[in-house]
Structure formats: C-alpha cells, structure tokens
Structure 1
C-alpha cells in the first residue's frame, strides 16, 4: 500500500520560546533572602527615628526583627552565606540587647509593710461589644486607680457599676476613640484636663492623696503615628506631657495607651524630658496590642516618678479589645 506523500516545506516548526514566568521565576530561597535583608535593613534604619517618622515607625517591631534575624542567621549558616550570617548575627544581637534593656528596669524593693497601690490601664476598644464582660473584669481586678481608654457614649450606661464602686471619677466620653474615664478610691484633691496638640485630645490630671502623701495621676492617649502629620502630633503630645510632668512636684504616675513602644524615639523623648521611667521589676516588653497578630507590640504603659517602683506587672485576658489590660502594683 502506498501512502500519499506529505507536502514538503522548508518551514520548520518554531522552537518553543521560554515563558516569561520561567525567566523571572523567584525561588523560595531567594524570597527568604529578600525578606531577610529587608528585616536586617529595618533593624538598622529604626535607629534613626529622630530623623524621620518612617524610621521611628520601623523601630517599634524589635521583637519581630529579633526573631526574623535569628532565623536568617540559621539559614545563612546552612547555606554558607558568610556575609549574610555576619549581618544577621549583628542584627540579632542588636535587637536582643535593645529588648533586654527593658527586661528589668528596677531592683526589687524591700518590704516596708505598705500595701501596694494597684493601677489598671485598659484600652477597651470603642467598638468592643463585650461591655458587661469588660466592666466585670475591671471590678474583679479591684484596682485603686482605673484608667479606661476608647470609651464613648455607648459605654456610658455600662460604666455605672464603676461609678458606684469608686467614690471619685473623671469621664470624658465625647471624644470617640480618645475618650477617657478614670476611677479611684483615693481621696481626690483636684482634677484638671489638658488638651495637647492640634487634635485637642484630653489628658486627665488627678491630684490625689496616697497614705498622706500627694500623688499626681496622669492619663493620656496620643494619636497613632501612622502618617507624617500624625507622627508630628503624636510626638508633640508626648513632649507636652513630659513638660507637664516636669513641673509637677512629688510622686507622679502616667498611664495609658501611648501608641509607643519602650524603645521608640517618642518614648525616649518622654522619659528624658520628664524624669519618668518604667521602674519595673517585671519586663515591660511583652506585647499589649495585637496579641493575635504577627506585628504585636507593647504600647500600653505605666511610668512613674518620685521614688516609686512597680513591683509587679501583669496583663489581663483578651476581652474583645485589640489591647490587653495592664495591671501594676506600685510601692515606694
């Protein structure tokens, strides 16, 4: 049987051209190295917070940088990337020493037989639907001074049990996410409200009597520094609070959601210009915000001045807020 011949042609089938995706494909190892280098760069750029708000924003994530840099160090050693291993080691050590500086900021005080002053600071989250559970937690904590942040008018009826329990209070619920409510069983001598920065956000100043000694309690909540303008307002409020505290005599406690980690530039300015410090036997680096997120950071604080020491610092459970409550015990 004779098969019909196929027509002859000089045209050869075109060779298969490589896919653009294949040309530009990114390996997992390459991606890891890019992430690693980015973490290392952010580690060092965070040291320049005083020169720009973006640099200071990078400084907040020291906990994450320490973990990533340690992982990078292991990968670099396994892959024999000497330059990367050296940079990762230096960056890991740098982040760890910054964090460790806030592991214990005061020696354990001797027992003077005085009952410690218990202070609670809690950003309850304005949109938190668990009003009753939050207030129950505050009542059970039985602090001598309570500072609640992000309380608006929707919280007003649920705050009544605190009004009943505590003889003295200061509330400003009309500022939405920056509303503040303070309650105390200590004798209240006077109350003041200062409004700092262009946002005119309230800061409470409670002049109290503690065991026969004058005590000033300051509650504040600066705006998050998430843009250049907001970062300027945030830093200005922290600077204004520092100036306020500088002029105060005697023992001072400042509490709230500072939107500032212990190692950022804004916190450095507040501490240096006011004389305030953490003065805590327990570490102040455990995260208080975003505890279910990779970017969890410690931004809720209690700082003291005038011979006070925080002998115990504990975080409360999750109650529907993106923050956890902070309870401290303060002694002289």
Structure 2
C-alpha cells in the first residue's frame, strides 16, 4: 500500500499541473487579441476559442490551488510558486473592456430608468409559458430583444392580449432556423430596418429607433453565427463592428443586444468598446443554462452608448432555454 506521503505527492503533482494548465488557458485571451486575423486567421480563431473559457479556468484553477495550499501547510512545504499562475488566471479574468459607469443613487432617484432585456429562446422550445409570465411580471423589461424567434413563439405572444397591450410596438422576423429575431417595446418604434444576410456567413439583423420619454433611442438586434470556423468568427466580428459604427454615427442614446456568440475576452467586444459601445454589467455567464442557475460562458450581452449609466444588471428567470436572459437598467447621464 502506498504511503500517505506518496499519495500526497501524487495528488500535489497533478494539482500543480492543473493550475499551470489553467494559467496557460487564461493567457489565450490576451494572446488571441494580439494575433492577426489576416495571415493567421485560423490560429487566431483556435486561440480565441480557448480564450472564452476564463470562468472555467478561474474556478478549476482555484479548486486545484486549495489542496496545494493545504498539503503545503500539512507537510510544511513551500508553495511560493503559486502566486504566479494565480495572478495569470485572475489577471486574464478581470482584464475586460470597460463597462458602463455606475449611476449614483441621487441620479437614479430622480431619473427615468430604461429596463432592457435580451433572451435567446432556443429553437427547440415549444412551451412559451415561462416567457409570457416573465413579460407579464413586474420585472419585465421596457424593451426586450429575442433571438431564435420562431413562428411558434410569435403565435404564443400574439395570442396573449395582456402582452399585446404591454408591448404594442414590435419588430418581429420569425424564422425556421436559429436566427429569427424580435424587438418588443412599450414605446413607439420608428425607422425600422430588416437587414437580410449578405453572405452565407452572415445572419439577420434588426434596427429601429424607439421614442423614449421624448428622446430617440437607437436599437440594434443581432444573433451572429457561433464561431464554428474562422470565417464565421470573422463574420460575427464584422457584424458587431457594423452595428457599432451604425449606432455611433447615429449618436445620442443607443442600445445593442443579443446572443452575440462571443465573450468579453474576445476581440469583437473589445472593438465595440473602442467605438464607445460599452457592456452594461459584468461578465455574467448565461450559457449553458444548467438547472436554471449554473452557466459558464457570458454570451448574451447588452451594449450601450456612453450617454448611459448603469443602475443594475442581473440574469432573468429560467425560460426553458439553454440560455439565461440578461436584464439591465439604464439611466441617461
């Protein structure tokens, strides 16, 4: 039978390897943003795929570090090397594009608050009762962006008189594939545009201008393809760039939302931030939706122009989808 010391050495060695692997995984985020998408597009794509999993690296790295510390204390061994990979993991996790500034309490008390929600409904969903309950609740957004919007989802919402009265202004384009979109609003929508895909790598996009408390708010809804290839990843980033430029040129108040199939550690969100479209809230994981509370990747985002401040951000209820909704409250500067 192996001795206790041998068992400790066996566990300690594998925990150390796991910590270093998590540290190397974490470093893929800054590395992916430095790689060119022109001559090294395939390499940049592969590295960026690994970069999305920063929360997993942080959780697994922390779990592997705990027994290392315990065994070092029990055996009176040194673990002076541990702060280096821990710093690599933590640094990559928190190194994200800037978010909207938080609104001060006095500002919030006297301001008009706009509540924005985004939810991927999942193409296979057939029971929209949770969605109808959410949109009828006190936590319902003023404007909600829906992805994977189907004819069945449209009929479920159209057949509900209470929701028709609550969201009388709608821009809906249901589709039989995962890329149907909808914008439901309590406020009037004007200047609506439906941008059909230009290439096989593109997806549908929606634009509208919402009249909110006497001010125009420019809206963009999108759901790019997941990055299953380098070409799809580049098309996703181009879509984000196009919509960011459109909203920046429009000026004033603007909001872009959807399942963007990217995370805050990837290039597309960083480019949007440089164009003054900032995330509303931190990198809250929304996919997959395990048991209504456990997620790993922050794929669902609300981005807003610098004319906004953030009151709060949280995930919405379980809608029976593989994504959890995101809900944010915004106030004008």
SS of the residue 2:221 aligns to: strand
Q: Deviations over 1:256-297 (max 9, x none)?
A: 11112222211111221x31112x4xx422211214298612
Alpha-carbon shift at residue 188 of structure 1 (Å): 2.0
Alpha-carbon shift at residue 117 of structure 1 (Å): 1.4
Alpha-carbon shift at residue 171 of structure 1 (Å): 0.9
Say if 1:175 and 1:201, in contact at 8 Å, map to a contact too: no
Alpha-carbon shift at residue 169 of structure 1 (Å): 0.9
Say if 2:278 and 2:306, in contact at 8 Å, map to a contact too: no
Does 2:331 correspond to 1:331? yes
The aligned counterpart of 1:113 is 110
- Output the CA distance in 1 between the equivalents of 2:169 and 2:100: 32
Alpha-carbon shift at residue 166 of structure 1 (Å): 2.1
Does 2:288 correspond to 1:290? yes
Q: What are the ranges of 5 or more consecutive residues in structure 2 without an aligned counterpart?
A: 1-9, 36-43
1:124-273 correspondence to structure 2 within 5 Å: 124-140=121-137, 141-160=139-158, 161=160, 162-174=163-175, 176-195=177-196, 198=199, 199-272=201-274
- Output the CA distance in 2 between the equivalents of 1:271 and 1:296: 22
Say if 2:22 and 2:89, in contact at 8 Å, map to a contact too: no
The aligned counterpart of 1:16 is none
Say if 1:72 and 1:85, in contact at 8 Å, map to a contact too: no
- Output the CA distance in 2 between the equivalents of 1:302 and 1:275: 13
- Output the CA distance in 1 between the equivalents of 2:191 and 2:235: 28
- Output the CA distance in 1 between the equivalents of 2:90 and 2:144: 38
Question: TM-score normalised to the size of structure 1?
Answer: 0.81
Say if 2:207 and 2:219, in contact at 8 Å, map to a contact too: yes
SS of the residue 1:177 aligns to: coil
The aligned counterpart of 1:23 is none
Q: Structure 1 pair 142/64, CA: closer, same or farther in 2 (3 Å)? A: closer
The aligned counterpart of 2:63 is 71
- Output the CA distance in 1 between the equivalents of 2:204 and 2:84: 44
- Output the CA distance in 2 between the equivalents of 1:195 and 1:82: 56
Q: Structure 1 pair 197/271, CA: closer, same or farther in 2 (3 Å)? A: farther
Question: TM-score normalised to the size of structure 2?
Answer: 0.81
Say if 2:116 and 2:144, in contact at 8 Å, map to a contact too: yes
- Output the CA distance in 2 between the equivalents of 1:284 and 1:251: 20
Of stretches 225-234 and 73-82 in structure 1, the one that deviates more from structure 2 is 73-82
Q: Deviations over 1:105-159 (max 9, x none)?
A: 4132314623311222111111123212222212224422121111112323202
- Output the CA distance in 2 between the equivalents of 1:306 and 1:60: 25
Of stretches 157-166 and 167-176 in structure 1, the one that deviates more from structure 2 is 157-166
SS of the residue 2:46 aligns to: helix
Q: What are the ranges of 5 or more consecutive residues in structure 1 without an aligned counterpart?
A: 1-26
Q: CA RMSD in A?
A: 2.6
- Output the CA distance in 1 between the equivalents of 2:176 and 2:265: 28
Q: Deviations over 1:222-280 (max 9, x none)?
A: 111132222122222222222222321221111111112222211111221x31112x4
Q: Structure 1 pair 262/46, CA: closer, same or farther in 2 (3 Å)? A: closer
1:19-38 correspondence to structure 2 within 5 Å: 29-38=12-21
SS of the residue 1:201 aligns to: coil
